[in-house]
Amino acid sequence: MNLDKSLDHLSAPDLHQQLLHRLNNGEPIKLNAANVETLSPISIQVLIAAKALANEKQLEFQITDRSECFSQILSDLGCTDLL
């Protein structure tokens, strides 16, 4: 699943629903973050919660091709190890 360019507070509810639907259907989560230019704290929270649920359900959760912006924001907020 390709993540949107902008993962702001407006897109977080839709991202949450997409990830929850996939996890509840037993689907592994493979996210491509190559195009991410905006990443809000609420979207990070959605991703962290999805990873926790995937772990609980013993499903794969992976974020690949992280854009420089995606990686930098996670680092700036001290969340690198959480995702």
CATH superfamily of this structure's domain 6-82: STAS domain (3.30.750.24)
Per-residue confidence (pLDDT) for residue 47, from 0 to 100: 98
List pLDDT tens digits, range 28-77: 999 999 999 999 999 999 999 999 999 999 999 999 999 999 999 999 99
Per-residue confidence (pLDDT) for residue 60, from 0 to 100: 97
User: What are the residue ranges of helices labelled H in 1-66?
Assistant: 12-24, 41-56
Element spanning 64, H or E? strand 61-64
Lowest-confidence segment of 24-28, 69-73, 77-81 by average pLDDT: 77-81
* pTM reported for the whole predicted model: 0.93
Q: What is the largest CA-CA distance in the chain?
A: 33
